[in-house]
Amino acid sequence: MNLNSYGLRKFKNRFFFVACAVCVVLAVAPLVSILWEVIVRGAPQLSLNFLTATNAKDGIGPAIQGTLILIGLTSLIGVPIGILSGVYLAEYGNNHFGSTMRIINDALTGVPSIVIGITAYGVIVIGLIGSYSAIAGAIALSFMIIPIIARTTEESLKLVPNNIREASLALGAHKWKTTLRIVLPSAKSAVITGVLLGVARVAGETAPLIMTILGNRYFFQGLNEPMAALPLEIWRDSLQAQQSIIAQGWGAALVLILLVLSINIIVRVVSRGRLRK
């Protein structure tokens, strides 16, 4: 064996160890930079007025309100449908129909959000309501959250041990009662985790809102009216020339990222605590 080649192999071994560590640093660096910039540029904006006033008074109140309304409406539509689909896939889905729906569900998660925006535009903005509207945005976001919740619900229910189901069935409970009273509650926290992660995911979506809720400088006007939202606020502010408006965009970004990341972090902490037990 020649020593040279051995030296080279040893060098490669060290080199790639360092290279892989560098990959980690290169991936984490943008995250750190984003958080840092958003905080440094956004924090000076924060004030009671900024959070509650309309755009005309240098605030992003309508956008915050709009995003909260969107989250609420989307959950109202998406959570029951998503959870029930997940229940079907986990408890009854062991057949041809079930596996087809599973694939369709996966396919739906792969549909670009802008395409969902166009669909909601066609069906609701043009078709049903005839106006850019809050409800169109909520429906578009529901399209996105349903497959996510269905998937996580299915996975959580499948982790519930079968003997729990059998014990309940053996006591004479029907399958639907067993599912609703025993199975779902025992997977409760995992299902909630999935819902929250889904909410965090769609709360930051911008593209489907462009052609549905459009944006608005005023507070909520009605479900059939255009509405503001944080992601749209950030986008529109970023396109302006005035530094003061761009700064407001950073402030809105800080609020949005706090919302999204705090959901993520809370979910993490809670679900890790559960695993440790």
Partner 1 sequence: MTNQKNPKFFTKKVASLGDFLFKNLAAVMAASALALLLIIGYELASGSGSVIRTFGADFFVGTQWVPNEGREIYGALPYLLGTIASSGLALLFGVPLSIGIAVFLVEMSPRALRVPISYLVELLAAVPSVIYGLWGLFVFRFILVDYIEKPLNTYFGWIPIFGGPTPIGLDLFTASVVLAIMIIPTVASVTKEVVAAVPNSIREGAYSIGATKWEVIRHWVLSYGRSGIFGAVILGLGRAVGETMAVAMLIGNAQGAAAIPTSLFAPSQTMASLIANGFLEAAPGSLQISAYIGVGLILLIMSLSINLGARVMVTKVLKVKGGAVE
Partner 2 sequence: MTETQQKPIQPDPQAKMQSINLDVWFGQKQVLKSINLSVKPNTVTAIIGPSGCGKSTFIRTLNRMHELVPNAKLNGQVLLDGEDIYAKNVDPVMIRRRVGMVFQKPNPFPTMSIYDNVAAGLKLTGAKKGEDLDDIVKKSLIQASLWEEVKDDLKKPGTSISGGQQQRLCIARAVALRPEVILMDEPCSALDPIATAKIEKLVIELKQNYTVIIVTHNMQQASRVSDFTAFMYLGDLVEYGRTKDIFESPKSKLTEQYITGEFS
User: How many helical (H) and strand (E) elements, i.e. helices and strands, does the chain have?
Assistant: 13, 0
Q: Least distance in Å: CB of 149 to partner 1?
A: 11
Q: Coil, strand or helix: which one is 227? A: strand
Interatomic CA distance for residues 255 and 265, integer angstroms: 15
Residue 14 interacts with partner 2 (CB under 8 A): yes or no: no
Q: Least distance in Å: CB of 19 to partner 2?
A: 19
CB of 27 or CB of 48, closer to partner 1: 27
Residue 39 interacts with partner 1 (CB under 8 A): yes or no: no
Instruction: With beta carbons less than 8 A apart as the criterion, state whether 269 and 257 touch.
Output: no
Residue linked to tokens 């755009």: 55
Q: Which stretch binds partner 1 (CB under 8 A): 31-39, 157-165, 184-192, 219-227?
A: 31-39
**Residue 269 site contact among partner 2, partner 1, none (CB < 5 to 8 Å, cut-off depends on kind):** none
Q: Which stretch binds partner 2 (CB under 8 A): 4-12, 83-91, 209-217, 221-229?
A: 4-12
Q: Which stretch binds partner 1 (CB under 8 A): 14-22, 45-53, 58-66, 163-171?
A: 14-22
Q: Least distance in Å: CB of 97 to partner 1?
A: 7
Q: Coil, strand or helix: which one is 145? A: helix
Residue 9 interacts with partner 2 (CB under 8 A): yes or no: yes
Instruction: With beta carbons less than 8 A apart as the criterion, state whether 232 and 216 touch.
Output: no
Residue 51: name the closest of 62, 38, 41 by CA.
62
**Residue 18 site contact among partner 1, partner 2, none (CB < 5 to 8 Å, cut-off depends on kind):** none
Q: Which stretch binds partner 1 (CB under 8 A): 26-34, 55-63, 162-170, 217-225?
A: 26-34
The residue type found at 163 is N
Q: Least distance in Å: CB of 9 to partner 2?
A: 7
Q: Which stretch binds partner 2 (CB under 8 A): 2-10, 204-212, 229-237, 258-266?
A: 2-10
CB of 223 or CB of 246, closer to partner 1: 246
Residue 20 interacts with partner 1 (CB under 8 A): yes or no: yes
- Long-range pairs for 199-202: beta carbons < 8 A, 24 or more residues apart: 199/71, 199/74, 199/75, 199/145, 199/263, 200/259, 200/260, 200/263, 200/264, 200/267, 201/144, 201/145, 201/148, 202/71, 202/74, 202/141, 202/144, 202/145
Count of residues near partner 2 by CB under 8 A: 6
Q: Least distance in Å: CB of 59 to partner 1?
A: 19
Q: Coil, strand or helix: which one is 225? A: coil
CA atoms within 13 A on the CB side of 247: 12
The contact set with partner 2 (CB under 8 A) reads 1-2, 5-6, 9-10
